[in-house]
Amino acid sequence: MLMDGLEARPVRPVHGAHPDSPALPMPPTVIDLRRTEDARDVVHRAVQALAEGRCVGFPTETDYCVAGSLRHRATVEALLAHAPDRSGEPRLALALKGADESFDWVPGLSPVGRRLTRRCWPGPVVALVEGNHPDSLVHQLLPAARDAVTGNGQLRLRVPGHSMLADCMRMLAGPIALLEPLTAGQAPVSAEDLLACPAPNLSLVLDDGRTRYAQAATAVAIEANSVRVVRPGIVSEETIRRLSSLMVLFVCTGNTCRSPMAEAQFRLMVADRLGCRPDEVESRGVVIASAGLSAWGGGKASPGALEAMAEVGADLSGHESQPVTENLVRQADVILTMTASHRAGVLAQFPEAGGRVSMLSPDRQDVLDPIGAPLPTYRRCAEQIRGHLASRIDTLVDSIPRP
């Protein structure tokens, strides 16, 4: 039947039961998102249902989940009654609007946790994090809700990548819990699978066909300075390791002198600290890059920079300049600029990176620009950069993820 332009269908009653039997709950309305003319109407229906304490089935990129408001005790109890046992983990996941919201629930989230969630969310990664921080919003939940989303001192956080749930959460004031049901040990990857799972009485199911990945999300435990996969899924352990790496980006003007020299010398210093070769640094959890605010792609390092770096054991012969891009800035954990004007230029283009951009010099002194100058000037510039890096190396190395 058509309802306000939406394709909706009731679920067939259980075989062998009379449809008018009072023992049977009302079947949920199933809305086919692929045949919906106006998604806004679907969002409003789902938001209203959740606000009233009813349960709604949502697609994600990996599986279908059942969402319910943590403001309603009866809803929480209904979700818990059907939640699978996950070996000491919280039985319900807490759905977040985005990675930034995680700080409200985990104020003490470690640097490795911050960068992993920033790079993975929204997406198919479930994060198991500290659940007992005294400043966490979890302490403002109803006791039943708090117990439902915490377990073994942890919270299970998700930011699903499907737009429908994200759109609904933007319109909801209260927190939402996700029941991730299992049938025969498998997560439901279609609306039909979800309806076949043990689940609370659903008011509404949003059908978007088979999920994009049709595999479980990867669950990772984020600890003080490490990340480990506790339940394999669509994102491989190698990818999780790469996404949790520390990325340091050095920025100058043309990416041919100062920032390449900073990149090369920092790689040498990190390799020395980690006891590995410079070309092994990335496999040890550190990604080092450089870029220029006015750089052209593919330019070579200046002759002076090449020679000055060769004298300290670094090779810039393969360097290719690149401009500062949105993707580089988004991925970088630490952005170190050669001058105050470089820092201002980065912030003017990417204000959201404000907390990650600093001048290389802790004393906010501009690094000498050697472009066009003789080799001794390059040497002085390299020495200046090396001194600034030495003052930062301890802090940066401490945030490298440990195996």
Specify the pLDDT at position 297: 92
Annotated active-site residue in 369, 379, 380, 386: 369
Residue 39 has pLDDT above 80, yes or no: yes
pLDDT at 403: 60
388: pLDDT strictly greater than 60: yes
Q: What share of the chain is helix, strand, coil (3-state, %, to 5)?
A: 35, 20, 40
Q: What pLDDT digit, counting tens, does each position of 188-206 carry?
A: 999 999 999 988 889 999 9
Tens digits of residue pLDDT in 335-367: 999 999 999 999 999 999 999 999 999 999 999
DSSP-assigned beta bridge partners for residue 3: 6
Give the Cα separation of 338 and 355 in Å (integer).
Answer: 17
Region 13-42: mean pLDDT is 71
Q: Within the chain, which residue ranges are assigned CATH 3.90.870.10?
A: 2-242
Q: Residue 334 pLDDT > 60, yes or no? A: yes
Contact 155/104 with Cβ under 8 angstroms? no
Other Cβ atoms within 10 Å of 131 Cβ, number: 21
Catalytic residue among 55, 197, 252, 381: 252
Q: Measured between alpha carbons, how far is 363 from 254 in angstroms, rounded to an integer? A: 23
pLDDT the model gives residue 251: 98
Q: How far apart are CA 96 and CA 183, in angstroms?
A: 25
CATH 3.40.50.2300 domain range(s) in the chain: 245-398
363 is catalytic: no
Using 50, 70 and 90 to split pLDDT, how confident is the model at 164? very high
Among the listed residues 258, 267, 284, 356, the single catalytic one is: 258
Determine whether 258 is an active site residue. Answer: yes
Q: Is the pLDDT of residue 316 over 60?
A: yes
Q: Tell me: the pLDDT tens digits for 236-285?
A: 999 999 899 999 999 999 999 999 999 999 999 999 999 999 999 998 89
Residue 25: per-residue pLDDT: 64
* Helix, strand, or coil (residue 203): strand
Residue 257 known to be catalytic: no
Predicted confidence band at 225 (pLDDT cuts at 50, 70, 90)? Answer: confident
CATH fold, domain 245-398, is: Rossmann fold (3.40.50)
Report whether CATH 3.90.870.10 matches the domain 2-242.
yes
Q: How far is the C-alpha of 321 from the C-alpha of 366, rounded, in Å?
A: 21
